[in-house]
Amino acid sequence: MERRKFLTTAGVGAAATALAAPAIAQEAPSFAWRLTSGFPRTLDTIWGAAEVIAKICSDATDGKFQIQPFPAGEIVPNPEAVDAVSSNTVEMAHTCSYYYIGKDPTFALGTAVPFSLNARGMNAWLYERGGEDMLNTFYAKYNMIGFASGNTGVQMGGWWRKEINSVADLAGVKMRIAGLGGRVMEALGVVPQQIPGGDIYPSLERGTIDAAEWVGPYDDEKLGLNQVAPYYYYPGFWEGGPAIHTFINLDRWNELPASYQAILRSACATANQDMLAKYDARNPVALRSLVAGGAQLRAYPEDVLTAALTAANEIFTQISSENEDFKTIWESQTAFRNEHNLWNQVAEYTFDTFQIRNRPRG
């Protein structure tokens, strides 16, 4: 008797659970957001981070949280992306914070500034040393919250029509370069130009500019920059570990259930690691291809690097004296950079340089 009662009760309980599950799922709210990217679809690695985020958010919510990415300029020109998110014209943007230094130079610190952190250091500062919270205190002034959603790793120093043998060779050169790197190069005699990625090739081809930096071998080959400028310089000292951010309208963010917020943050973190892994895997292959095709690799002369470091420190000091937001975040980054570089000197640098010296031995 008791056995029959148990089986009957258990059956009812199982049926109730089966009926309740869809009802609970139906209670989850639906959201349909638009994301404007700062990048063209053809640059699949950097553009692709937005697609990674959208897929994770959809998959993890059974399609309830839909994000539709749009390439740069399709619904919002990239220079207006922050304004569009701030005003809720679009809910999200995936772009580089440093594109918006015209609003406030503090935006540069969300991506990269010359001679700052490498990719691992940037992630460590963001996630473990309060960097993300400090940046979001700043971004909140623009009615946004932001999460790192990609990193290219250290970039190349760009494509040049002529060789650079000393600082004197930089005078009057018109160069496409973003962020505070442009101000540093300007101090060395360069005339910086702000040009979207998709417009770099025609600008070099027409001679509107004399040099241009973008990301690194994989993207640069896709853009065909090797076809219009022969000299490929390294390193891109202005971008040691540039973070790309997802910016979200703060009001829309606050409307999301906590579970959706957690999913979106996790999606951004996944995109962050995914992009770096892809560039690390694809850049070596592309670099070999570029060199085989005639690209002339050149290291920046020591006097260029030294002059750039001096100029960068002067610029950071000057901005810090006028801008408390910049000062607070820059001092935090600098303090951590010094700790991080000490550790790198002891372990990572020693290991890497030994490996590189012995690469011919297999």
**Residues 165 and 143 occupy one common structural domain:** no
- Look at residue 36 and tell me if it is in a domain: yes
Specify whether 79 is located in the same domain as 168.
no
Query: For the domain that residue 206 is a member of, what is the CATH number?
Result: 3.40.190.10
Q: What is the pLDDT of residues 29-85, one digit of tens each?
A: 999 999 999 999 999 999 999 999 999 999 999 999 999 999 999 999 999 999 999
Alpha helices in the chain (DSSP H): 2-27, 44-60, 81-86, 119-128, 131-139, 180-187, 200-206, 217-223, 250-255, 258-292, 302-322, 324-343, 349-357
The string of pLDDT tens digits covering residues 324-343 is: 999 999 999 999 999 999 99
Which one-letter DSSP state was computed for residue 347?
Answer: I
Q: Environment class of residue 76 by beta-carbon count within 10 Å: exposed (0-12), middle (13-18) or buried (19+)?
A: buried
Per-residue pLDDT averaged across 95-124, rounded?
98
In whole numbers, what is the pLDDT of the chain averaged over residues?
93
Cα separation values, 243 from 16, 24, 27, 96, 268, Å: 48, 38, 36, 7, 11
Task: Report yes or no: 304 and 185 within 8 Å, Cβ to Cβ.
Answer: no
Distance between CA 183 and CA 95 in Å, rounded? 20
Q: How many CA within 13 A on the CB side of residue 38?
A: 24
| Number of domains the chain contains | 2
Q: What is the CATH number of the domain that holds 39?
A: 3.40.190.170
125 and 47 within one domain: yes
Same domain, 266 and 170: no
Residue 357: the pLDDT is 94
Establish if 20 belongs to a structural domain.
no
Of residues 209, 178, 211, 184, the one with CA closest to residue 196:
178
Q: What is the pTM of this model?
A: 0.91
Closest CA to 163 of 211, 203, 216, 215: 211
Domain that holds residue 184: 158-237+295-338
In this structure, are 227 and 108 located in the same domain? no
Within-domain flag for 46: yes
